[in-house]
A = this chain, B = another copy of it.
Amino acid sequence: MIGIVATLKIQDGKAAEFEAAFKEAMAAGGANEPANLFYELVKSRTDPTVYKVLEGYTDADAIAAHSSSDHYKALGPKLGPCLAGRPEVELLDGV
């Protein structure tokens, strides 16, 4: 199992646009990726411009399949205009 914690910082006032784009991508992704153990967009309780994506995959192949999926590729152009910087992505190995 491989976990990912992606931290996304958005611009002020872009929360609704960001969340709508993300939800659309999540709805498309869940049905197509059986090796995706979990994939949840969550938001900070202290900073309204900070979101995290908590992701779990069976293995590196599952991450590669996710990264090459059509809905993942569509996510970048949709989310880009909402972001305040590059996402921070941390990969962690299951124990």
User: Which residues of A are in contact with B by a Cβ distance under 8 Å?
Assistant: 1-3, 5, 19, 22-23, 37-38, 40-45, 51-52, 54, 56, 90-95
Contact = CB atoms under 8 A, between A and B. Distances in A.
A82 to B, nearest CB: 13
17 contacts: A1-B40, A3-B52, A5-B54, A23-B95, A37-B38, A37-B40, A38-B54, A40-B56, A41-B95, A42-B93, A42-B94, A42-B95, A43-B92, A44-B92, A45-B93, A51-B95, A54-B92
Nearest to A5: B5
Contacts of A56: 38, 40, 54
A92 B42 contact: yes
A29 to B, nearest CB: 14
Nearest to A91: B45
